Amino acid sequence: MSDVEPGKRELRRQILAARARLSQEDAEKAPLVLSERARELPELARARTVAAYVSVGREPGTRPLLDALREAGVRVLLPVLLPDDDLAWGVYGGADALMPAARGRGLLEPAEPHLTPSAVTEADAVLLPGLAVDASGMRLGRGGGSYDRVLARLAAAGAAPPLVVLLYDGEVLPRVPAEPHDRPVTAAVTPSGVHRFGRRAERP
């Protein structure tokens, strides 16, 4: 275990507890506001293919954004969790085409046929799940490592799509614990606004 991991675990615990305390009204309002703000991002407005995900539980909701992108003619790729926790992908065919993930965890996945893990390299923008982001753009994920593989795959392919994370207000922090393999995101979208970060942001 790295020296950074205990700090990440504690921050994850705090943020998940705060999300659990959100009012039902705030949790239901956020997805529509986030969708409107995200669609104003030039990186998403000009994208032909977007890799995204289906929000679950108290994650900031992605469903309205997925539908809006699809209705605008964008090819939306959604992740499929593999036995080794890597991610394959499938094309979003609408809410009715989502199904419970074979591996459970409350996840919803696109219907078959599924694409290979390398399909993400075709994305013009990537929407990442996250719990927080800091002033340099470093994202705190859930800790499963699936998206670390996605980001490493993009880098290995020489692909550098904009990386966007949807968060609640209060989850853009001065600093989050980070390790050498962590990569900064391009922007964080919250109900109150858009936060942008340099693509080559570095931590002090």
Query: What residues form the annotated binding site for ATP?
Result: 8-12, 139-147
Residue ranges of the annotated binding site are 8-12, 54, 59, 139-147
Q: Which amino acid is at 123?
A: A
Instruction: Please give the Cα distance from 69 to 80 (Å, whole number).
Output: 19
Which residues are CB-neighbours of 88 under 8 A, at least 6 positions away? 79, 80, 82, 114, 115, 116, 117, 119
For residues 75-84, one letter each, b for 16 or more C-beta atoms within 10 angstroms of the residue's C-beta and e for the rest, the string is bbbbbbbeee
- Angle CA 17–22–28, to nearest 5: 135
Residue ranges of the annotated binding site for substrate are 54, 59
- Return the H-helix or E-strand segment holding 188: strand 187-190
Instruction: Please give the Cα distance from 144 to 28 (Å, whole number).
Output: 26
Place of tokens 């036995």: 83
Q: How many other C-beta atoms lie within 10 A of the C-beta of residue 175?
A: 14
Instruction: Please give the Cα distance from 185 to 83 (Å, whole number).
Output: 27
